[in-house]
């Protein structure tokens, strides 16, 4: 059996992704370069303290840090609290205030992989422009948890009305690629998306093409209307944990006066 098939391979790959030399990482993790070399070659196995030091030195997101510890044979170092956990009630309340405060414009609460946890009424209202929202979710998800990336990029979703599909898809896939370091679930979703019709796998390659613009508006043709919207991301955190498992609110704004009129009419 290849001794580098799990932890050693993962450690080496993560170090390369962060463009660190063995010496750089060893100094950051407060271990010797020789010890790190042995870990990467599979000649040594880490203790729990060393594995945790490496996870911190690599600045791994919580989900990825837990996967890293599991590969080393140890328990997670971050507790995974679902949003439904009673201890998360204050955060749920805070998120609900953010969602409702964004009315009459759409806003949605999602987790690290883009699964929808909550949304304001305007989000549901704008989906009616694309037909029956229940059928829209069913066509794109087939019973799986509602996901913002699937909704936007699936050929049976809102992508069918998206005039600048390539621009939006490229920017979205580059974002998913960056955030896939948070854990294997998002990596699996990325692999699923690049297999869909209309998606060029090259769009999900690191450093592919010019970087996207700082604001990428989504332009939809709905009947005789062309609606243009853009999103602003607000990450949710507390004083005790800066980024609570990747929770964020995606708040949508009209990019022109006509879209603003349509959104405000829908809310009324």
Terminal CA-CA length for the chain = 64
Checking phi first, is residue 226 left (phi over 0); if not, alpha (psi -120 to 50) or beta? beta
What distance in Å separates the CA atoms of residue 186 and residue 177, rounded to the nearest whole number? 8
Residue that is last in its domain, among 72, 95, 113: 72
| More confident call, 1 vs 2 | 2
Q: Are residues 91 and 213 in the same domain?
A: yes
Per-residue pLDDT at 35: 96
Residue that is last in its domain, among 21, 46, 72: 72
Which tens digit of pLDDT belongs to each residue from 250-268?
Answer: 999 999 999 999 999 987 7
Q: Are residues 129 and 233 in the same domain?
A: yes
What distance in Å separates the CA atoms of residue 106 and residue 119, rounded to the nearest whole number? 8
Helix H or strand E encompassing 109: strand 107-110
Number of independent structural domains in the chain: 2
Q: Are residues 155 and 32 in the same domain?
A: no
Of 73, 48, 64, 54, which Cα lies nearest the Cα of 12?
Answer: 54
Which tens digit of pLDDT belongs to each residue from 161-196?
Answer: 999 999 999 999 988 887 776 566 778 888 899 999
CATH code: domain of residue 15: 1.10.260.40
Q: Which value, in Å, is the radius of gyration of the alpha carbons in the chain?
A: 21
**Residue 61 phi, psi dihedral angles, 5° rounding:** -65, 160
The domain containing residue 51 runs over which residues? Answer: 7-72
Share of the chain above pLDDT 90, in %: 60
Q: Are residues 47 and 102 in the same domain?
A: no
Matching residue, tokens 């309340």 = 93
Across 138-167, average pLDDT: 94
Which tens digit of pLDDT belongs to each residue from 10-33?
Answer: 999 899 988 999 999 999 999 999
Q: Are residues 39 and 122 in the same domain?
A: no
Q: Are residues 188 and 256 in the same domain?
A: yes
């Amino acid at each position: 059996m290849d001794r580098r098939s799990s932890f050693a391979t993962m450690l080496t790959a993560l170090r390369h992704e962060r463009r660190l030399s063995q010496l750089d990482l060893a100094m950051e993790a407060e271990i010797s370069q020789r010890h790190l070399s042995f870990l990467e070659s599979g000649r040594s196995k880490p203790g729990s303290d060393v594995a945790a030091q490496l996870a911190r030195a690599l600045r791994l997101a919580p989900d990825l840090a837990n996967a890293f510890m599991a590969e080393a044979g140890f328990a997670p170092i971050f507790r995974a609290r679902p949003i439904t956990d009673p201890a998360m009630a204050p955060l749920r309340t805070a998120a609900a205030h953010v969602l409702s405060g964004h009315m009459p414009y759409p806003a949605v609460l999602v987790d690290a992989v883009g699964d929808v946890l909550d949304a304001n009424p305007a989000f549901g209202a704008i989906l009616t422009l694309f037909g029956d929202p229940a059928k829209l979710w069913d066509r794109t998800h087939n019973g799986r948890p509602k996901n913002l990336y699937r909704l936007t990029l699936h050929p049976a979703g809102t992508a069918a009305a998206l005039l600048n599909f390539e621009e939006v898809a490229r920017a979205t896939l580059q974002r998913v690629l960056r955030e896939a370091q948070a854990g294997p679930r998002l990596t699996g979703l990325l692999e699923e998306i690049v297999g869909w019709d209309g998606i060029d796998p090259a769009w999900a390659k690191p450093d592919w093409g010019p970087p996207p613009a700082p604001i990428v508006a989504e332009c939809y043709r709905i009947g005789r209307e062309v609606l243009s919207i853009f999103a602003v991301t607000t990450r949710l955190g507390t004083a005790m944990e800066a980024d609570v498992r990747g929770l964020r609110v995606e708040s949508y704004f009209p990019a022109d006066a006509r879209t603003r009129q349509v959104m405000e009419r829908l809310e009324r």
